[in-house]
Amino acid sequence: MTELLDLARTIALEAGELAARRRREGVAVAATKSTVVDVVTEADREVERLVLGRLQDARPSDGVLGEEGASVSGSSGLTWVVDPIDGTVNYLYGIPHYAVSIALVEGEPDPLTWTSKIGVVLNPATSEIFTAEAGAGAFCGERRLRVGGPTPLNLALIATGFAYAASTRGAQGEVIARLLPQVRDIRRQGTASLDLCFVADGRYDAFFERTLSPWDHAAGALVAREAGARVTGMRGAAPSSDLIIAAEPSVAARLEAVLDELGAFDAF
């Protein structure tokens, strides 16, 4: 798999350079998706076309699942899961916290059943690149990553995110209001793939979010897991749009229990 990790890293770096160049030139909304605040830029589409082309040239038998519409069936049993620009709203506003995310999974491209093989997450604005290969650890550049140690929940820095639908965000906000007094603080930076990598690097104690799409967490979840985090979904299921929690195992268990008590699993 090492050559496939090298391939993903090379493509991510090229895609990140294109995204950064387009950001310098100026970015505008090209369309909206699920709601008026769920935006896509022409750069999202252009970067995805680049990634898809490079993958098809190098791996014509593999499938591809991309956020902006790229969907290619393969015959190899492997699928590349691509978010060309994760954190598009940050990207649109010039906030230097967005990512190119590329994962390789085995099996059907469904997070409930797939087996993650490779994950690469690049922040073009900072040049930080996070990589992981199943069974081989996680890295930021050449530095091996390790999740933070056990932390009491009241001292834990927790990252999260919110859905695009206004009614869902309202329900999520009510949960956060009840969670906030029980933790050190909350962070919401708007790029799930990087949030997961920050858990891997001990910059956050935990991350949780609902309503994520497969490409939002495919690569970052593997980085976090390979750094020693427990990455799980709702009540022990695999991570999915229902829920993803990533943290040092004891922190993850405590956070999941508190969220359940707060009604976070039943809020929407």
CA dihedral in degrees (186, 190, 193, 195; nearest 10)? -20
CB 175 within 8 A of CB 264: yes
Q: How many CB atoms lie within 10 A of CB 192?
A: 28
Q: Tell me how far apart the alpha carbons of residues 60 and 34 are, in angstroms, rounded to a whole number.
A: 31
Instruction: Dihedral sign for Cα 200, 254, 153, 207, please.
Output: positive
Does 216 belong to an annotated binding site?
A: yes
Does 67 belong to an annotated binding site?
A: yes
Does 85 belong to an annotated binding site?
A: yes
What stretches of 33-114 adopt beta strand conformation (E)? 39-41, 63-66, 71-72, 78-86, 99-106
CA dihedral in degrees (234, 240, 244, 247; nearest 10)? 100
Phi and psi torsions of 222, nearest 5°:
-70, -40
Q: Which residues are annotated as a binding site for Mg(2+)?
A: 67, 83, 85-86, 216
